[in-house]
Amino acid sequence: MIVLGIETSCDETAAAVVTDAREIRADVVLSQLDDHTPYGGVVPEIAARAHLEHLDGLIRRAMAEAGIGFGDLDAVAATGGPGLIGGVIVGVMTAKAIAAARGLPFVAVNHLEGHALTARLTDDVAFPYLLLLVSGGHCQLLAVEGVGRYRRLGTTIDDAVGEAFDKTAKLLGLGYPGGPLVEKAAARATNPARFELPRPMLGRPGCDFSFSGLKTAVRRHVEELGGVLPDADRDDLAAAFQATVAEVLADRCARAIRRFKEDHPQGGALVVAGGVAANKAIRSRLSMLAEKQGMQFVAPPLRLCTDNAAMIAWAGIERFRLGESDPLNFAPRPRWPLDPNAAPVIGRAGVGAGVKA
């Protein structure tokens, strides 16, 4: 089975060709970083226009790299949401056009499910497993019990962790995108224990997260230091922020592991996915936790942590081989929760409910 995947939910335009033998034959990603950096974040209209301008060429390139024609495809999969709706529409309409012209099945993929199932593409992880999904717009803990079967154990009540990285980077004068820049600054720190920061939700019952107070504490330190920080202060504060996030994530995951094992005493892996999963300090902390808990730890390769089309193609394969596909009147979705039965989030509207920020 060969599937073309298309991803346009935020600021990466991507196309990939993947087989059901877990072979990534092509994986092409065009970053819009230069387009959005001057604004300090993603501008939805700019993102949508860039997808429209570049997607056709990326698909041609992916097909050429894979050495196949459209007649060799078994299906076309595209991110159907959640995301910036203009970009999602571009990807969905392009996939529908290919499917209609070639008589191929069309599969609309939940972007979050693409992240959730990446570990099955890269490591053939068996169900069930515990997933920490951490990105710019999401921070959730989910029991992954099968394709389309997700039970949310915890979510953020305010900021997503990737959003907190971006805002902290801006406060520190590091620029955009925040995650990689904070990590680089933290690696240069000479006194990473110098600044004391709050650990939101640490030790609290349940598995929910909160990062708004942590971001505010960073801002206060910056103001106390005069606003524009010398390199040493900036790097030490970045290291303190990163270490705090890693500690909080590990604490929340430890509680989720206990809940997960109650329902699945046979065990399972601890999987981390999403853009923030590329952070090496966080991966290391979670790896140690998994080893302590007797669980396999799985984190995708760094290039498959951030948004990509290979994960969309793979999620399409997972659904299609179960006999699932979507009609050509599928409507793109700005919101699309993985667990529609999860209780509403007490806090900022939308967080944890499938909003792509």
Q: What is the mean pLDDT of residues 189-194?
A: 95
Q: What span, in angstroms and rounded, lies between the C-alpha atoms of 330 and 100? A: 13
Q: Which residue has the higher pLDDT, 352 or 202?
A: 202
Residue 52 lies in a domain: yes
Q: Do the domain assignments include residue 247?
A: yes
Amino acid at 203: G
CA–CA distance, 77 with 121 (Å, rounded to integer): 15
Q: Which residues are annotated as a binding site for substrate?
A: 133-137, 166, 179, 183, 279
Whether 108 and 139 share a structural domain = no
Burial class (CB in 10 A: 0-12, 13-18, 19+), 83: buried
Site of tokens 């806090």: 347
Phi and psi at 331, nearest 5°, equal: -100, 125
Cα dihedral 163, 164, 166, 167 sign: positive
**Count of domains for the chain:** 2
Say if residue 71 is in the same domain as residue 140.
Answer: no
Shared domain check, 309 and 178 = no
Greater model confidence, 354 or 161: 161
pLDDT band at 351 (very low <50, low <70, confident <90, very high): very low
Measuring CA to CA, which residue among 158, 164, 161, 281 is closest to residue 217?
A: 164
Distances from the Cα of 120 to the Cα of 256, 273, 317, 345, angstroms: 21, 11, 11, 29
Q: Partners of 335 in the beta sheet?
A: 355
Confidence band for 100, pLDDT divided at 50, 70 and 90: very high
Residue 147 CB partners (closer than 8 Å, separation 6+): 113, 117, 318, 319, 322
Q: Are residues 112 and 174 in the same domain?
A: no
Torsion of CA 340, 342, 347, 351, to 10 degrees: -40
Classify strands 75-81 and 106-110 as parallel, antiparallel or unpaired. Answer: parallel
- Is 24 a domain residue? yes
Beta bridge partners of 270: 130, 297
Using the predicted structure, report yes or no on whether residue 284 has a pLDDT greater than 60.
Answer: yes
Q: Could you give the CA distance from residue 35 to residue 290 in angstroms, rounded to a whole number?
A: 39
Question: 219 with 142, same domain?
Answer: yes
DSSP 335: B
Annotated binding site: 111, 115, 133-137, 166, 179, 183, 279, 307
Q: Looking at the structure, do residues 99 and 140 belong to the same domain, yes or no? A: no
Residue 32, pLDDT score: 80
Domain boundaries, position 111: 2-116+304-320
Q: Does residue 235 fall inside a structural domain? A: yes
Size (the chain), residues: 357
Distance CA 201, CA 66 (A): 47
Question: CB of 164 within 8 A of CB of 142?
Answer: no
CA atoms within 13 A on the CB side of 130: 31
112 and 135 in a single domain? The answer is no
169 lies in a domain?
yes
Same domain assignment for residues 287 and 249: yes
Rounded Cα distance, 269 and 304, in Å: 18
Residue 161 maps to a domain:
yes
- Is there a contact between 82 and 112 (Cβ–Cβ < 8 Å)? yes
Q: What percent of the chain has pLDDT over 70?
A: 97
Tens of pLDDT, residue by residue over 146-171, are 999 999 999 999 999 999 999 999 99
- What would the pLDDT profile of 172-186 be if each residue is shown by its tens digit? 999 988 999 999 999
Residues 280 and 141 in one domain: yes
Q: Which of 237, 250, 232, 230 is nearest to 168 (CA)?
A: 237
103 and 152 share one domain: no
Residue 328 lies in a domain: no
Clarify whether residues 90 and 184 are in a common domain. no
d(CA 178, CA 85): 23
pLDDT value at residue 228:
87
Residue 234, pLDDT above cutoff 50: yes
Binned at pLDDT 50, 70 and 90, residue 3 comes out as: very high
Q: What are phi and psi of 209, to 5 degrees?
A: -120, 160
- Mean residue pLDDT of the chain comes to 93
What is the CA 143 to chain-centroid distance, rounded?
A: 16
In a domain, 330, yes or no: no
d(Cα 311, Cα 137) in Å, to the nearest integer?
Answer: 17
pLDDT digits (tens, 9 = 90+) for 12-67: 999 999 999 999 999 999 988 778 888 787 888 899 999 999 999 999 999 999 99
CATH assignment of the domain containing 65? 3.30.420.40
pLDDT of 36: 81
| pLDDT of res. 346 | 64
Q: What is the 3-state secondary structure (H, E, C) of 56-81?
A: HHHHHHHHHHHCCCHHHCCEEEEEEE
Residues 31 and 155 in one domain: no
Q: Return the pLDDT at 353.
A: 32
The predicted model scores a pTM of 0.92
Known binding-site residues for Fe cation equal 111, 115, 307
Name beta bridge partners: 149.
146
